Amino acid sequence: DNQIRFVKSALWYHGYGRPELYRLPSDGSAGSRELLLAFSWLLHRLSLLEQLLARNRVKTGDETSVCTCEDDLPNSQTGTTKRAPEYGLEDRVDVRYLQWLNGRLRFQWRSLHAQHQEQCKLLHKIHLFTSGSHMDQTLGHFSVTETDLVRQPENYKQLLQLLEFETMQLEAFLEWKQLEPVYWQWMETVLDNMAEEGNMCKSQATHVEKSGLPKVTSCCPWAVSLTGQIDRLSRDLMTLRDQLHKLVTHRKAAWCEKVKTREEELQKEGFSATARKIEESVELKLLNLTHLCAPKKPQLHGSCRLVFRSKHPASKMGFGRSVSKEPVSAVSATEVIRELQMREASLERELKQLQEECRQRLDEIAEGLDGVICISP
């Protein structure tokens, strides 16, 4: 049950919205075709095999992930804020529990950051002490794996096995790429069959609904009076609906007139506030103008190999070398730091603007509360 719940929750998190999967029983007795569809969706949407190959790749060098891309929300995440069927949070959640989760997350984030800093210090020591020992002059130093093999040569057998296993995975992936069109043709037939079965089920349900009432009326003598009562209730409900519609229309028109009058009053009073907001927005855009008008550089994303460079002028441009097959010029750590600092400053300005908007909104709400005093922190 826990595995099935986890699979459903993970698919919901990634944006899989087919309701038939979430209606499957939790004992695993049915749903093989729904699981096949979900697996195929993951293959196409998330590039699942490529991610698995990248995660299981044997790292012989010291690498780090570098990303200077914009933090755009992927399409798969839109709509995932809704509550998942049968597995979401309850309607009422204690705020103190959310605060505890937030504090725990921040503590774990700080611990992870401290461990990453310690790892960087140890890597720097290894690269510094082994400088000039590597046969490859572009590197000039050993990685952690190579240093471990120098200290314990018997571990090379385990490394060789891992490399052979990775080679098998790559060969299987190449074979899959050759047969992938056949798989997707098969999935098209599966989808067509499921669509036909769904149409048949709908037609049968419609036929039962249409043929159900005459059978009941023909065999039950009291059904005629019951039908008359239902007709009277339907007429009463229709009359009430018309009355409510007229009432809502009248009140809506009165409310729109009141809102229009209030807007005219606020337009006279809030002209200066609106002008101040426009000035702040223009200043924020001017701060980013130099960054936006600068020539666009290719954004860094992916894994880069860490290469130690001494401080003499001949080797200033040597932060890392991409692992991809295409030749990529080396990137200096100072460039990455400068790019991230500019991104951090932009996000801080955006955060301050959003906080100011939230504060103004809370002040407007607080003014409408009678007998309540709100003290800002």
- Tell me, yes or no, whether 339 lies in a domain: yes
Q: Is residue 90 part of a domain?
A: no
Q: Read off φ and ψ for residue 316, nearest 5 degrees.
A: -80, -30
pLDDT at 102: 92
Q: How far, in Å, CA of 325 to CA of 168, rounded?
A: 19
- Mean pLDDT highest for which of 64-78, 145-159, 267-281, 317-331? 145-159
Crossing angle for the helix pair 156-219 and 223-269, nearest 10 degrees? 120
Q: Are residues 66 and 320 in contact, defined by beta-carbon separation less than 8 angstroms?
A: yes
For residue 60, the model assigns a pLDDT of 80
Q: Would residue 269 count as lying in a domain? A: no
Which two three-digit tokens encode residue 185?
């043709």
Predicted TM-score (pTM) of this structure = 0.49
**Measured distance CA(316)–CA(331) in Å, rounded:** 10
Give the H or E element holding residue 320: strand 320-322
Q: Is 315 within a domain?
A: no
Query: Sign of the CA dihedral 289, 295, 301, 304?
Result: negative
Query: What does the mean pLDDT of the chain come to?
Result: 76
Q: What integer pLDDT is reported at residue 175 of this predicted model?
A: 94
Q: Which domain holds residue 347?
A: 332-371
Q: What is the pLDDT of residues 260-287, one digit of tens each?
A: 887 777 776 666 666 667 777 777 666 6
Q: Is 229 a member of any domain?
A: no
**pLDDT 10s digits, 179-238:** 999 999 998 888 888 877 766 666 665 554 454 444 444 444 555 666 777 888 888 888
Cα-to-chain-centroid distance, residue 181: 29
Q: The tokens of 173 are what?
A: 């992936």
In a domain, 19, yes or no: yes
Gap between the terminal Cα atoms of the chain: 46
158 found inside a domain:
no
Would you say 11 and 38 are in contact if contact means Cβ atoms under 8 Å apart? Answer: yes
Domain count, the chain: 2
Instruction: Compute the half-sphere exposure of residue 140: CA atoms within 13 Å on the CB side of its CA.
Output: 14
Look at residue 13 and tell me if it is in a domain.
yes
Mean pLDDT of 338-361: 87
pLDDT over 70, % of the chain = 73
